[in-house]
Amino acid sequence: MGALHIARFDCARTGTRAGMPVTETRVQDLPPFAGHSPQQERPLGWYALLISIYAGGLGGFATWFRRSGRELPERVDARDLALLAVAAHKGSRLLGKARIMSAVRAPFTRFQEDGGPDEVEEAARGHGLRRVIGELIVCPYCLSMWFATLFTAALLVAPRATRWVASVLAVVFASDVLQIAYRKAEDAL
């Protein structure tokens, strides 16, 4: 990537790829986004795409659900809410931090260091969509929205299977808490 080129209302990066000149217009450099993050790459256009995919999936599910003749429950049982909350937490930690899931994250991330028990710290790498996916999958807080939506939608369609999967994740979470407590107790001796 080369120097920043500013002309009227557009800003572009210029450079070469495979010997061919390339000019990229970045959303972050266009009004009304200009000035948002001038010193750092912020792929706002790709963020918008990811938001659109999420919203489109949610809208598509809602439309399908309505046309299927199913009805939304009056409320979600508190036990299901607690179960899904723990499952969304654990699912997002597994995908976003678990050492073994590095194989899934590797195309989008770079290893930084070991983290908590059986966890690693990774950073997004690359540019554009690759970077945005990397930023999403190393952020358990970001992933939890996707997991919560998935579990909640699945509970409406297949409650028995959803409760089973969520229960497995909740048991793994409880086991993690016990492992950490056991380790702290060992270290205190």
Chain centroid to Cα 46, Å, comes to 13
pLDDT band at 13 (very low <50, low <70, confident <90, very high): very low
User: Does 65 share its domain with 21?
Assistant: no
Residues 86 and 7 in one domain: no
Q: At a CB cut-off of 8 Å and minimum separation 6, what does 102 contact?
A: 109, 111, 120, 122
Q: How far is residue 6 from each of residues 128, 135, 187, measured CA to CA in Å? A: 20, 28, 59
Q: Which of 16-20, 53-57, 112-116 is least confident?
A: 16-20
When divided into structural domains, the chain yields a total of 2
Structural domain boundaries, residue 106: 43-188
Q: Are residues 26 and 48 in the same domain?
A: no
Alpha-carbon gap, residue 69 to 132, rounded angstroms:
36
Percentage, residues of the chain above pLDDT 70: 86
Residues 161 and 184 occupy one common structural domain: yes
- pLDDT at res. 27: 75
State pTM to two decimals.
0.80
- For residues 78 and 133, membership in a common domain is answered with yes
Claim to verify: residue 134 and residue 177 sit in the same structural domain:
yes
Nearest Cα neighbor of 92 from 156, 162, 163, 172 is 172
| Bond from prior residue into 43 cis (ω within 30 degrees of 0) | no
